[in-house]
Amino acid sequence: MGHWVAFNLGVLVLYPTVIAPMFNRFEPLQDEALRARVESLLARCGFASKGLFVMDGSRRSAHGNAYFTGLGRSKRIVFFDTLLSRLDAGEIEAVLAHELGHFHHRHVPRRIALMFAASLAGLWLLGWLSRRGWFYQGLGVTPAAGEFDATALVLFFLAMPVFGFLLRPLASWASRRHEFQADAYAAAHARAGDLVSALVKLYEDNASTLTPDPLHSAFYDSHPPAALRIGRLQEVR
């Protein structure tokens, strides 16, 4: 388990500096006006930039986005070239402010801790179930003596999708809550109106419908429907 966590953390650190550059090209951001805007946003939010880059994301997908890397307050900011060509400077600033909101609220470490806790809980549940006769009988299996652990493992992984299905709305709810928090942060540090127009463009590009079925959305979507996010942002404006 410790190795698994170490591996995941290693990937988080190595991905931006070593792995991503193997697959994409990075160039320093040339646009001076945008540079100044981004630097000033970072200063307002208490961050410093360790370089602003443009990545040729258009080679693999049309999904426009931005991300930043680096531990601590000093960040390497990466914009997809598709984002830069699609959004204006204010919208780009608002999208970056949203991402900084995720960092400010420590959403990634929280998610990692939650995944880790869920894995531990799953292993504990497996150990507990493997010593319960009804677990085997309920699933119509009679393991031979000495085969309990192996049988439990197989049954557990067969039954897991059902548990996963039941937990899914909870995970989606937590993830959507994070999106709203990041939106609120963006509205406080950039212009809410810019984030609204950026969202409309990004949701269009990702071919997701602007008004999905609310029940389906509440169950499956890790991101709130655009209309809900825009509604909240307009209350702030």
Residue 6 Cβ, how far from Zn ion at the closest point, in Å?
Answer: 27
How many amino acids of this chain bind Zn ion (CB under 5 A)? 2
Residue 185 Cβ, how far from Zn ion at the closest point, in Å?
Answer: 10
- Judged by CB, which is closer to Zn ion: 182, or 228? 182
- Judged by CB, which is closer to Zn ion: 50, or 223? 223
Which residue in the block uniquely carries the two structure tokens 């049309």? Answer: 62
Residue 98 Cβ, how far from Zn ion at the closest point, in Å?
Answer: 6
Residues composing the chain:
237
Kindly write out the interface string for residues 53-72 of this chain, putting x where it contacts Zn ion by CB under 5 A and - elsewhere.
--------------------
Residues designated as active site: 99, 183
- Judged by CB, which is closer to Zn ion: 84, or 96? 96
Interacting residues with Zn ion between 126 and 185 (CB under 5 A): 179, 182
* Positions in the binding site for Zn ion (CB under 5 A): 179, 182
